[in-house]
A and B are shown apart, each in its own frame.
Chain A
Amino acid sequence: PDRFLTWHWETEEEEERGRLNYVPDSKKPNAGTFILGKEDHTMGNLLRHQLLRDPSVRFAGYRIPHPLIFDVHVRVETMDSKLTPINVFESALLDLQLETDILSKTFEAAIAEFDANRV
């Protein structure tokens, strides 16, 4: 496939359909696979690591089934049915978002401080 397809969606509707999908596991309860379109190890590893920090997650792993198909599969299994994989995924994303917000604010503050000291 063309190289720009690693990150470029051809049509908007394809983007809406393909960005995030969920396939529940047919054999186990409380388990499922999230399919993220046009992503790579950057997000896959980040999500998997964050999911593993959640105590209600029994299994979390990610894989890229084929390097020429630009999808990331994240498989999540929770301890019991109080929290479904979707709930756990949502809370992981929320934690990550808060963390990146704090990161960017701290960075901007540090840059401002550095510039002030230099001048």
Chain B
Amino acid sequence: MISFDLMDTDISMANAVRRIMIAEVPTLCIDLVQFEDNTTVLLDEIIAHRLGLIPIRSNKPGGMESWTFNHACNCDDFCENCSVKFTLDCDFNEMSRNKPEYQNKVAIPVTSNDLICSDPEVQAVNFSNEEDLQQALGTSDGIVIVKLGPGQRLKLQAIAKKGIGKEHAKWSPVATVALKFDPIVKLNEDILDQYSEEQKMSFVDCCPTKVFDFDEYTQSVVIKNPSQCIFCKECIYTLEDFRRAPEDKLAVEIKHSPDKFSFTVETTGALLPKEVVKDALSMLTAKITKLQEAIPALANSEM
């Protein structure tokens, strides 16, 4: 998860980058599932749906660009360049025999750790940053797919393909992208001076993120953390109670900054956040370049 500030650009660019991060950065996800045996409590299609949502990380050098889309690939059906095969084979009786911790359990969970991949550089993940991954490697359980009861068995093969979030949300690499305007907070000193100390204290206290502070020495309100403002308007409501007439101006003015934004990107683990942002920016450049290339044809047909 990373956060960064974007400056000197406008909101449409920030929004375009945000939209591309959510919908158009490609990842790998399970898309085709072939069941051999399923005696669990969940239906085939439900298990297939759950498998599709598991984030899959590829450590191949070159990142996601080294994978081709399945429909664009020159191979017949599936090949190594456009897809990855996963197998899963879980049997309650076997698992309770082999693993001592499952001896007396009523229901054994089948997790994403049981998904075995044919390509050693690809694996299912459930962490969103590298520190967590290093700490918990080998000790975590993985994402639970289904729980097996006595005598139940699940055996399937799955194929993962490259896709983008526009087609199905499972391919979206981000958990959330938060885009926030930076606030511009201005205090009107003249009006503030008219208020009593109590009023100033309650004004400072009403802000939930402590944007303001009361300076004891000068007995005045100062702005402490302007970028933490969340635009909740608590201060404006408090000041509206204080002022004597409705047409008086308010002591504080809070505006959105038109060219400074803060992004917070949190991913599912399929891609690192910096990879997501890098891919998003390069996809935006590619879109613009493709339109630019199409212009000469336009100009010719115009003439």
Residue with the greatest number of chain A CB neighbours at <10 A, chosen from B9, B290, B294: B294
B contact face: mostly helix, strand, loop, or mixed: helix
* A45 interface residue per 8 A CB criterion: yes
A111-B274 contact, Cβ under 8 Å, with A6-B166, A8-B71, A99-B9: yes
* B287 interface residue per 8 A CB criterion: yes
Flag if A45 contacts B12 (CB, 8 Å).
Answer: yes
Query: Which residues of chain A are near B9, meaning CB under 8 Å?
Result: 99, 103
* A108 interface residue per 8 A CB criterion: yes
Flag if B167 contacts A46 (CB, 8 Å).
Answer: no
Q: How many residues of A contact B (CB 8 A)?
A: 39
Query: Which residues of chain B are near A39, meaning CB under 8 Å?
Result: 287
Q: How many residues of B contact A (CB 8 A)?
A: 39
A22 to B24, CA, bound (A): 26
Minimum Cβ distance to chain A for residue B251 (Å): 34
A contact face: mostly helix, strand, loop, or mixed: helix
A28 to B269, CA, bound (A): 53
Flag if B168 contacts A3 (CB, 8 Å).
Answer: yes
Query: Which residues of chain A are near B20, meaning CB under 8 Å?
Result: 42
* A93 interface residue per 8 A CB criterion: yes
Contact of B282 among A16, A94, A104 (CB under 8 A): A104
* A79 interface residue per 8 A CB criterion: no
Query: Which residues of chain B are near A50, meaning CB under 8 Å?
Result: 12
Contact of A45 among B15, B281, B285 (CB under 8 A): B15
Flag if B295 contacts A86 (CB, 8 Å).
Answer: yes
A86-B291 contact, Cβ under 8 Å, with A100-B281, A100-B284, A103-B281: no
Chain B's closest residue to A36 (CB) is B291
* A110 interface residue per 8 A CB criterion: yes
Q: List 20 A-B contacts (CB under 8 A).
A: A3-B168, A4-B167, A6-B167, A7-B164, A16-B294, A20-B298, A42-B23, A42-B24, A45-B15, A86-B295, A86-B298, A93-B292, A97-B292, A99-B9, A101-B285, A103-B6, A103-B13, A107-B277, A110-B4, A111-B274
Query: Considering the complex of A and B, which 5 residue pairs feature the smallest CB-CB distances, nearest first?
Result: A49-B12, A20-B294, A104-B281, A42-B19, A46-B16
Measured CB to CB, the residues of A under 8 A from B are: 3-4, 6-8, 16, 19-22, 24, 36, 39-43, 45-46, 48-50, 84, 86, 89-90, 93-94, 96-97, 99-101, 103-104, 107-108, 110-111
Measured CB to CB, the residues of B under 8 A from A are: 4, 6, 9-13, 15-17, 19-20, 23-24, 71, 164, 166-168, 274, 277-278, 281-282, 284-285, 287-292, 294-295, 297-299, 301-302
**Extra 19 A-B pairs, beta carbons < 8 Å, given A8-B167, A42-B24:** A3-B167, A6-B166, A22-B298, A40-B19, A42-B16, A42-B20, A43-B291, A45-B12, A45-B15, A45-B16, A46-B13, A84-B302, A86-B298, A86-B299, A97-B285, A100-B281, A100-B288, A103-B9, A107-B4
